[in-house]
Structure 1
């Protein structure tokens, strides 16, 4: 044992601890760790990781946008229970804890149910919390196939990601 510390050589220490295969094993573990790290980086760059929507039920839906306005088409400034609408832009700015969305309230979706939409997470490079808190006559009988996302203005309602095919992931 004393010669192991006095030699100061990694080779001598390795052989004393684990025999002659230790240096090869050390290289293999290092190479494996490098591959794991590279794989994680590639997954994150491709929109994976925190931007994914894990688990739950997945539905394909057509998305549209609406914004708080005092007119019959947009429906006002509050959700179906009287709480103020929370917009995507407020969420992105950090001033709202979720984004209000409207869906079919006869589809068995409880008020306040959270939804994850991977296309929106990838578009804005952030995990966005959507909550079903609103409805409207355009959603009756549509089930999980339609979603209206609350944005801050008419100009923001033209977002091509919102107005396209969306994957809705329920918990």
Structure 2
């Protein structure tokens, strides 16, 4: 049994799980009463047993200790799969950062390269300048920009809606 999810970007089927005899799948929808997030396909003749949540709840009422153990095992499976998904996600992000070169867009790079940025504030106003430093104060973090005419502007992070890089090439 293979469990796949269609990924629109790239038009591919991503195999999430190749189930072996006795494996469980569909645990997320079972636990949170939600919709399925993937589709299961049998590659060979298979016998699949389906356990509805209503049947499981009735079983738990009749056999609470066994129901608790079954739910504990199901949550353990869910947690193991979530950990694997998290590791895959982190690996993908790190890979994309390395390949795209975006690790060089950190604030230290902005400070040393004197790149002009546009900071869009939550008020809707914009300020332009080069990043001088990013500091932590009692009020939180703030970014300090040097304006084209030489003045400095200190802006707290909570007031920043967006930062546009390479603003002088607009």
So what's the TM-score if we normalise by structure 1? 0.26
Q: Which has the higher contact order (CA 8 A, sep 6+)?
A: 1
Higher helix share: 2
Counting strand residues as a fraction of each chain, which structure ranks higher?
Answer: 2
- TM-score, reference length from structure 2: 0.27
